[in-house]
Amino acid sequence: MSAVKIQSVRGMNDILPDEAEFWEMFEDTIRSWLKSYGYRPIRLPVVEPTPLFKRAIGEVTDIVEKEMYSFVDTLNGEPLTLRPEGTAGCVRAAIQHNLVAQQTQRLYYLGQMFRHERPQKGRYRQFHQVGVESLGFTGPDIDAEQILMGARLWNDLGLDGIALQINTLGEPAERARHRAELIRYFEHNGDRLDDDGRRRLHTNPLRILDSKNPALEDLILGAPKLIDHLGAESLAHFEGVQQVLRDAGQPFTINPRLVRGLDYYNLTVFEWVTDRLGAQGTVCAGGRYDGLVQQLGGKPTPACGFAMGVERLIALIREAGGEAKAAAVDVYLVHQGTAASRLAVRVAEALRDQGIDVLFHCGGGGFKAQMKKADASGASFAVIIGDDEADAGEVTLKLLRATDKQANEQQRVSVDGVADAIMSHILDWEE
């Protein structure tokens, strides 16, 4: 009987070395970009108590009702969930460790999220997000800063064709009045709703406005507008965001149908969208969520944030022709013979002490076979040690990535001088 072939879980993908190197380059750009705005990293658990998400996201949302990976800890009976998003966990950590009482916080995290959805291009069951959260800031300036951060990142990544849409959800009381009118409107037109619309009518009617069903287009266009129910303060906040964007020369479109699938948002919401990824067109989405800290047991604290799907951004970079450069080492160390192999270990460690990356040949083989591997490795240099070199306390340094003038150039240098010889060549190339 043959063994059952074990493969990865559907919708949870391996990221193999060539692709992982591309991801690391992307992540380096992300960290540098966030640091330039004063955001600091926070690392959060992948597993959180299930009630955290029910309270934060809302029990009558698609995420909680259908998409969460939840289970009961068999040791203590505690209900646990693989995090479907990062904001709730970040706010939980801020409350638990009293971060906001100390000072305002600009935080970010990067990692896996989990939702049980139908896998498709740009949407997976294990996916990766960059999350950015600002806690303790009032006023529209922080909302606008987070929006403008996106514009800078697209430039850093060499991406174009990403458009900004903004909207305001007002405050809870304003949204409640709009919700009541919205329900009356859709009840009066109940025969025109699809199954999703009927299911959401009394639980989350705002989400009907975000329906992608073309048959509902006219019905949605005629629905009551939230902006007509907003008071002076909400309108002033929204105008404040727009003014900063205009001053910065950032184009935007006000999309009154732009809502959030999570219950904790208020006031400003925004999305960066593209038409280059098919149905999965949103690459970054966020907004303000002033009530969430108190909702999760903390003191009233203004907050706003956004999240970006890493897989979608990687796909966009690829679509734009972006490629990762091979993360080649500096030196491939070739050695043959007992004395040579013993010396080679010491030489490799001494080079690493000088900040030089070394790929040490393992597995034996003759010089010819080893040199083929050295050339294929992408290293700039081969350091070659045979017993003759070992007896003389020297190595042979060969240039593998040389100019035509330097082709096949090699030299014998002392063990103590090999690091200086390598650095001298590197400096010559940089000039």
**Whole-Å CA distances, 9 to 4, 125, 126, 330:** 14, 9, 9, 37
Residue of 363, 370, 404 whose CA lies nearest to 385: 370
For residue 382, the cross-strand partners are 332, 398
CA triplet 76, 79, 81: central angle to 5 degrees? Answer: 130
Q: Is 242 annotated as a binding residue?
A: no
282-288 and 266-273 strand pairing: antiparallel
Residues 6+ apart with CB under 8 A from 236: none
115 is in an annotated binding site: yes
Instruction: Check whether 87 is labelled as a binding-site residue.
Output: yes
177 annotated as a binding-site residue: no
Give the contacts of 130 (CB within 8 A, at least 6 positions apart): 30, 108, 109, 110, 307, 308, 310
302 within 8 A of 136, measured Cβ to Cβ: yes
Alpha-carbon distance of 290 to 313, in angstroms, equals: 28
- Binding residue per annotation — 264? yes
In the numeric block, the tokens 């340094």 are attached to 397
Q: Are 415 and 353 in contact (CB under 8 A)?
A: no
133: annotated binding-site residue? yes
Please check if 260 is assigned to a binding site.
yes
**Residue ranges for the binding site?**
85-87, 115, 129, 133, 260, 264-265
**Residue ranges for the binding site for L-histidine?**
85-87, 115, 129, 133, 260, 264-265
